[in-house]
């Protein structure tokens, strides 16, 4: 009879676990190819729908041109507060610069930025969209995208193109509702 001290560790292990059935032969290649990477079909559909909605919004009204002033005020906002916003008299608590983003990226960044601003209870933010002078012959894409999206949001009380010292017609000052 042999003592456990006389056996090597591998033999002790095999005797402890008993007989095993290998899943595949050692050294044999796997018979299946790796699965293709999953596609986010719903996200792709959402993006396509958002682009379609943006195109519809752009065509449903006259798009803003590069030098146009963007302006919007909900009826519930007192005119005096809107005048202060137009003059740039509110302290800007956060800023988003959309330069270099395409329409889809800009929309995603803008929605995330507004959620964050709302979570931090910011009252006034600046969104830099650029004047759109580099747009390919058409209307400034980001400027119109930001204008249309902000008009649809319930948490936006008002917005207006920034005073020249704060970005002029290439930026918006946005007044947000508190929670």
* Cα angle: 65, vertex 70, 154; to 5 degrees: 130
Architecture of domain 41-176: 2-Layer Sandwich (3.30)
Pick from 34-48, 50-64, 68-82 the range whose average pLDDT is largest. 68-82
The pLDDT, as a whole number, for residue 115 is: 93
User: What's the residue count for the chain?
Assistant: 179
Are the C-beta atoms of 128 and 96 separated by less than 8 Å? Answer: yes
Q: Using one digit for the tens of pLDDT, what is the confidence trace for 134-167?
A: 666 677 889 999 999 999 999 999 999 999 999 9
Q: Centre a 10 Å sphere on the Cβ of residue 153 and count the other Cβ atoms it contains.
A: 16
Task: Return the HEC string of 33-83.
Answer: CCCCCCCCHHHHHHHHHHHHHHHHHHHHCCCCCCCCCCEEECCCCCHHHHH
The pLDDT, as a whole number, for residue 68 is: 87
Pick from 34-38, 98-102, 130-134 the range whose average pLDDT is largest. 98-102
- Which sequence spans correspond to the domains of the chain? 41-176
């Amino acid at each position: 009879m042999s003592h456990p001290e006389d056996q090597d560790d591998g033999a002790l292990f095999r005797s402890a676990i008993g007989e095993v059935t290998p899943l595949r032969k050692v050294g044999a290649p796997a018979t299946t190819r790796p699965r293709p990477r999953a596609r986010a079909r719903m996200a792709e559909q959402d993006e396509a729908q958002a682009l379609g909605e943006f195109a519809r919004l752009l065509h449903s009204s006259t798009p803003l041109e590069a030098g146009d002033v963007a302006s919007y005020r909900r009826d519930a906002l007192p005119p005096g507060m809107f005048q202060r916003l137009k003059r740039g008299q509110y302290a800007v608590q956060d800023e988003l610069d959309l330069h270099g983003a395409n329409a889809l990226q800009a929309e995603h960044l803008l929605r995330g930025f507004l959620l964050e601003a709302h979570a931090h209870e910011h009252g006034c933010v600046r969104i830099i969209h650029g004047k759109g002078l580099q747009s390919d012959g058409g209307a400034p894409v980001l400027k119109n995208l930001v204008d249309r999206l902000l008009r649809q949001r319930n948490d936006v009380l008002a917005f207006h193109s920034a005073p020249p010292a704060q970005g002029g017609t290439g930026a918006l000052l946005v007044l947000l509702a508190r929670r």
